[in-house]
Amino acid sequence: MNIKCIAIDDEPMALEIISSFCQRHGNIELTVFTNPIAGIEQVKKIKPNILFLDIEMEDINGRDLARDLPHEVMLIFTTAYAQYALDGFELNAIDFLHKPFSYARFEKAVQKAIELQTLQQLSAQPTFTDEYITLKVEYKNTNIQLKDILYIESMDNYVRIHLTSQPTLTSQMSLKTLQKLLPEEKFIRVHKSFVVPIYRIASYTSKEILLYNGIKIPVGRSYSKYLKDKNSKMA
C-alpha cells in the first residue's frame, strides 16, 4: 500500500531530509512545499495519509495552519523548538519530531500514523446490522446486539458485558467460551481479562488501548504483538 504524504517546511534542507527518509522507508509518495499556503491548499484538495508540518516558518505558524486540516489527515509536527510539543498534541498531532531527528524516530512516527488511520477507517465502516449473541443472564436467555457492546471483561468464572445503552450484563461463562461466539474479524482479545470490538479502538500502545468514548483498556504483554499483527493485516 502506497502512503501519500505531504511535507511543508520553509527550509529546503529539512525537506531534503524528509524526502530521503521517505525513500528509505519505501511505499511513500511524497510531495514537498516550501510555500505553506500552497501546501495546505494541496492538503485540503488531495487529503494525504500523513502531513509533515513545520511549526516555525517565516510569516506563518504551522499551528495556525493545522487548525483547519481534514480530520482524516494524520498530522506530524516537525520543529527545532521542543517547547511547542504540548501545543502540537493539543491540536491532535499524531507525533512530534524534534529536529534534527533520526530515521528510526521518523519511522516510528510514520508507523504510528498508519496504524491509527487504519483503526479510524475500520471504525467508519458499518460493522453490524442486527447481529446478536444469546447468553444466559440471571437464568434467562438474553439477546445482546453486537453493535451495543463496548467491551467484555472477565471476572473469575463470569463475564461482564459492558454496553452502550443499558446496564452491564453478567453471565456465568469463561471469556474464552464467549469469544468463540463472537466474529473474529470484529472482536479482539487484548488481555487475559478483556475483549474489545475492533471498531471502537481509537488508539493503542503496547500497554493500553483507548476506546473512542475515553475508556482505557490494558493490553497484556502476550497480546501486544497479536494486536499489532492483526492491525497490519487489515491495513
Cβ atoms of 18 and 52 within 8 Å: the answer is yes
- Span 93-145, pLDDT tens digits: 888 898 999 999 999 999 888 887 776 665 554 445 568 889 999 888 999 98
126 versus 166: which is more confidently predicted? 166
- Residue 123 confidence (pLDDT): 53
Handedness of CA 193, 212, 61, 22 (dihedral sign): positive
Matching residue, cell 493503542: 204
Q: Which of 59-63, 107-111, 178-182 has the lowest mean pLDDT?
A: 59-63
Contacts of 26 (CB under 8 A, 6+ apart): none
**Domains defined for the chain, CATH in brackets:** 3-124 (3.40.50.2300), 132-234 (2.40.50.1020)
Cβ atoms of 150 and 202 within 8 Å: the answer is no
How many other β-carbons are positioned within 10 Å of the β-carbon of residue 93? Answer: 25
pLDDT above 50 for 189: yes
Q: How far is CA 122 from the centre of its chain?
A: 10
Cβ atoms of 172 and 158 within 8 Å: the answer is yes
